[in-house]
Structure 1
Amino acid sequence: MITIGELGEKIVATWLEPQNYQILHHRWHCRWGEIDLIALDNHNSELVFMEVKTRKPQNWDQNGLEALNINKQKRIYTTAQIFLSKNPLWQNYNCRFDLILLTYIIRKNNSNQGLIKILNSNQIMYENYIFTIKNHLKNVL
């Protein structure tokens, strides 16, 4: 069964693709950590390591912003270094670290089974869920 966090990552990947991002990896991991999404930003040919936080509205940690503490940042940075060492093709690209915060609500009686539908610039519907991209913070690390 897919978790709400994994579903949020899938939604963000769908949201990014029309914005000229090419998703390279979902949930890339090594023994030191995991990176939710790794993408190529085709606007400026940057390799982007993304952390995605999915929360219910009116959550305690500012939509996931407070969850990116110093220890989490270090794990992401170390994991990105390992990714680059194992994937020399990407070593000469400029890299950045983004944080994407989204919330979701659950709707009842939705017939949109299995389809992802972009409603507007920051809302995406999937089955019983409506996701809202609250913030896309670039260069957070």
Structure 2
Amino acid sequence: MSDQDRITKKQQAITLGTLAEELVAQWLIGQSWQIVQRRWYCRWGELDLVAHREMSCLAFVEVKARRCQNWDQGGLLAITPQKCNKLAQAAALFLADYPEFAALPCRFDVALVQYGAVCRSSSDAPIQSDGMPVPSVQLRQPVCVAGYQLLLYDYIEAAFEP
């Protein structure tokens, strides 16, 4: 594999990750959640999404995007004990940086997004002019976004305890 091929694959992975996170964010908004942060970085890694609902619960959402019929159960096997520890440490730093959320009950959710073959267009897939899905994203309903078919396959609330 050439260096250019590696760069192209990495760019595609970043694009798909961003699209998957946006898809999940739009779904959460449709479920009456407010997105507090997207791709929040710290020394322990990244929190994909941080969201709250009516200031009653704070969710740290790990988004996994995988091809349909992949080997690791849609990304679920990537949530190892080490990954859980890193997410918990990142969440602790987030709460230190944003003390207004520190009193809220917290949970760690996992969103599994599948992507399939590149699609050109779809008359039933709602998208905004910027290529992002509209807030009417539904669980297990595919949408075509920026040339990809994405599907929020599963959303696991309180997927693990730190």
What's the TM-score once normalised by structure 2's chain length? 0.78
Which residue number in structure 2 is paired with residue 102 of structure 1?
113
Give unmatched runs, 5+ long, in structure 1: none
Mapping for residues 87-98 of structure 1, pairs under 5 Å: 87-98=98-109
Q: 1:6–1:120: structure 2 CA closer, same or farther, 3 Å change rule?
A: closer
The answer on whether the counterparts of 2:138 and 2:152 sit within 8 Å (CA) in structure 1 is no
Which residue number in structure 2 is paired with residue 78 of structure 1?
89
Percent of matched pairs sharing the same residue: 36
Q: Which moved more, 1:47-56 or 1:109-118?
A: 109-118
Decide which of 71, 76, 86 is 1:65's aligned counterpart. 76
In the alignment of these two chains, the number of paired residues is 140
Q: Following the alignment from structure 1 to structure 2, what is the Cα–Cα distance between the partners of residues 52 and 120?
A: 16
Q: 1:89–1:19: structure 2 CA closer, same or farther, 3 Å change rule?
A: same
Indicate the structure (1 or 2) with the bigger Cα radius of gyration. Answer: 2
What's the TM-score once normalised by structure 1's chain length? 0.89
Mapping for residues 1-141 of structure 1, pairs under 5 Å: 2-42=14-54, 45-110=56-121, 114-115=130-131, 116-117=133-134, 118=136, 120-123=138-141, 124-141=143-160
The answer on whether the counterparts of 1:114 and 1:126 sit within 8 Å (CA) in structure 2 is no
Of Structure 1 and Structure 2, the greater strand share is in 1
Cα RMSD, aligned residues only: 2.0
The answer on whether the counterparts of 1:48 and 1:95 sit within 8 Å (CA) in structure 2 is yes
The answer on whether the counterparts of 2:95 and 2:102 sit within 8 Å (CA) in structure 1 is yes
